[in-house]
Amino acid sequence: MASDTFLRSIPVFAPLSEDMKEQLQLIVQYKTITKGDVLFRESEQARALYYIHEGKVKLTKSSKDGKEIVLCLRQAKDLFAEVALFCSKEKTYPATATVIESGAVSLIRNDDLEKHLSHHPELVFPLFQIMAERLRTAQTTLRDIALYNKLSALCATLLRLADDYGLEHHNGVYVDVKLTHEELGNFFGATRESVTRMMNQLKNKGIISQEKGYLIIHNFKTLRSYAQREHPNNVN
């Protein structure tokens, strides 16, 4: 049942015949995940492509001194670890995957998937589209870290979270992922204290609020204007 859901929920596998889907189901593995589990670490040999049925996973990179940058979050119906496909046998994961909300995942070993893709090249293009979109997002995040001040980087991060996890709310958009200020800062290299100060500025202006730890965005226009500023580090 889980492997069937995995294959039928991912558009990239839509062109496959029913016979091929049945063959793939034999190599799909299903596992429950618990908050805090590490599914793989960066620089480990890349072995599998993952799909989330339920829960959330964060992908991070760490420096030698232990500083962590959050590259992205993945949630239900998302693929991840696809970047290691089609690489050399010594290929490694470019990031660490840690469970931040319990649930379940399915996975297919890269060797098995690549074997099937070699016989069905029509599936490769949709996978490349996924990779290209994620590369674009990664480049945007790098821009925020390298070029923008901390407030602009925070606002850009909040906008991306709203785009990925936003739900309609009677007073704006409710972001359905709970992150501490330290975790928010890990998206763009800011300290917890700095994020707390900037979040308070945005709250005092009525741009955002929080409800039981979840973010609500009330004024997207103003938030976007702050996200595009390159110099000021306060809300005017």
Residues 64 and 160 reside in one and the same domain: no
Q: What percent of the chain has pLDDT over 90?
A: 34
Give the pLDDT of residue 38.
96
Task: Specify the number of domains making up the chain.
Answer: 2
* Token pair of 158 as six digits: 């909040």
What are the tens digits of pLDDT across the range 195-235? 999 999 999 999 999 988 899 999 999 999 988 765 455 66
* Token pair of 24 as six digits: 């793939």
Taking the C-alpha atoms of residue 57 and residue 71, their distance in angstroms, rounded to an integer, is 11
Give the pLDDT of residue 112.
80
What are the tens digits of pLDDT across the range 41-85? 998 988 888 989 999 999 998 877 777 888 889 988 888 887 777
Give me the DSSP letters along 95-149.
Answer: SEEEEEEEEEEEEEEHHHHHHHHHH-GGGHHHHHHHHHHHHHHHHHHHHHHHHS-
CATH of the domain at 150: 1.10.10.10
Flag whether pLDDT at 6 surpasses 70: no
Residues 62 and 166 reside in one and the same domain: no
SS3 94: coil
pLDDT level of residue 113 (50, 70, 90 thresholds): confident
* Token pair of 92 as six digits: 């490694």
Cα within 13 Å of Cα(10), Cβ side? 28
Identify the H or E element spanning 25. Answer: helix 18-25
Residues 59 and 100 reside in one and the same domain: yes
pLDDT level of residue 1 (50, 70, 90 thresholds): very low
Q: Is the distance from CB of 175 to CB of 184 less than 8 angstroms? A: no
CATH of the domain at 86: 2.60.120.10
Flag whether pLDDT at 178 surpasses 60: yes
Residues 112 and 17 reside in one and the same domain: yes
Give the pLDDT of residue 203.
96
Residues 115 and 170 reside in one and the same domain: no
Residues 61 and 153 reside in one and the same domain: no
pLDDT level of residue 25 (50, 70, 90 thresholds): confident
- Indicate whether 129 belongs to any domain: no
Residues 61 and 168 reside in one and the same domain: no
* Domain span holding position 41: 2-124
Residues 66 and 170 reside in one and the same domain: no
Mean pLDDT, residues 173-178 taken together? 92
